[in-house]
Amino acid sequence: MPEAMTAGRTLAYGLLGLPLAFAALPIYVHVPRFYAEVTGIELALLGAILLGTRLLDAGIDPWLGWLADRVPRPTMVALALLPFAAGFVALLNPPAEHAALWLAGSLALTYLGFSAASVAYQAWGADVGSTSAQRTRLTAAREGFGLVGVVLAATLPVLLASDLAEGIRRLSWVLPPLLLIAAATTFSRVGTGQPVPAPSQPLLPSLRLVMNDSAFRRLLGVFVANGIAAALPATLFLFFVADVLQLERSSGPLLALYFVAGAASLPLWVSLSARFGRVHAWLAAMGLSIVSFAGASLLGSGDLWPFAAICIASGLALGADLALPAAIAADLGERQGRAGACFGVWNFVAKLNLALAAGLALPLLALLGYVPGDGEGLAFLTFAYALLPLAFKALAGALLWRWRRSLEMQT
């Protein structure tokens, strides 16, 4: 008989999401500008390294998902945490020389641990939850604690040191103890759930079976368009705040405001999804994101409070982006008996979005004349940060509306 899904067990499961997301924000948001300013790596080379390592990282996710269906999920999570923590500390403490090689190597190690832990952790939640409602709550708990981790990562650098770069270095040493405490709580309280017996197919046939599910393919289509809409501003946020708004010292509080709003909105989206369905709740969040973010293109130097309002409104929409599509994917994965494989593909697509955002946007901006801190090419930066994502968000909303009936499922 499965263990009861108590609130304490749900929260214990979600807690491990905190250190994972704590590290994810510096990896995807701080690292581009940090390495450009501290080590002097040119934007084109930096973009190429980020693209290459992120493509490599994304490429191993389907294999990691296949593996997660064949070994105990908690065991895979535990084995992945050591390279994850070691790589993260190395990443944010680069040497004076050979910074490009250091970036590539430390990113590869961090990505390997992070990806293996994330895929198995998500599939573990699909096992622990036995109904759609439970999986939605587990996903919301994981993403809620994740947002707390993101807020910590956004605010601590300016508190740990007066110099932002030094604060980012010191931030790296906060992760190991944080990870140890969260992992001990999750492993001691959650249990293994009720995993579906491992399928017997090799990797490629298993992935073909996952992709044969038309509902999963449609969900991925929406997820790709929506993910690009999120990945572009995530990659360019610090550049936009520092060079267009001239508010670099406010970047941490603004990021924190965005993610606090996202965390605060999670109970609302869970409630709305229970009442109106997850698809309709997600559609409403997309509309809110489009309306709130459109005004960013009109901002200029010193526009702190208007941008803070945009951060709050778009942050409220973020909660739905984090909780609802992943909960739908968990249902589809359990329906197939391949939750690990489904989340392997899921994370592959999510990381591909981020890889393309960094690998294409940064070199393109450099080609168009944008130089960080130089004051040139700011119109192109504003377009890439504020306007281009809106087209992808509108496409995601149109696809979600078209396929809404096949994606609104309950188990």
| Model pLDDT for residues 389-404, shown as the tens digit of each residue | 899 999 999 999 999 8
Q: What does the buried/exposed string (b/e) look like for 310-340 if buried means 16 or more CB atoms within 10 Å of the residue's CB? A: bbbbbbbbbbbbbbbbbbbbbbbbbbbbbbb
Q: Are 142 and 325 in contact (CB under 8 A)?
A: no
In eight-state DSSP terms, residue 369 is: T
Q: How far is CA 269 from the centre of its chain?
A: 18
Ordered by where they begin, the domains of the chain are: 7-190+202-407 (1.20.1250.20)
- Type of residue found at 156: L
Q: Are 182 and 152 in contact (CB under 8 A)?
A: no
Nearest-angstrom CA–CA distance, 363 and 299 = 24
> In this prediction, what percent of the chain has a pLDDT beyond 70?
93
Q: Are 28 and 359 in contact (CB under 8 A)?
A: no
Would you state the pLDDT for residue 409?
A: 62
Supply the mean pLDDT for the chain. 86
In the three-class reduction of DSSP (H, G, I as helix; E, B as strand; rest coil), residue 410 is classed as coil
In the three-class reduction of DSSP (H, G, I as helix; E, B as strand; rest coil), residue 246 is classed as coil
- Type of residue found at 73: R
Low-confidence ranges of the chain (pLDDT < 50): 1-2, 411
Would you state the pLDDT for residue 195?
A: 53
Would you state the pLDDT for residue 403?
A: 92
Would you state the pLDDT for residue 198?
A: 53
Would you state the pLDDT for residue 1?
A: 42
Would you state the pLDDT for residue 353?
A: 77
In eight-state DSSP terms, residue 295 is: G
In the three-class reduction of DSSP (H, G, I as helix; E, B as strand; rest coil), residue 299 is classed as coil
The Cβ of residue 123 has, within 10 Å, a number of other Cβ atoms equal to 31
Q: What is the pTM of this model?
A: 0.73
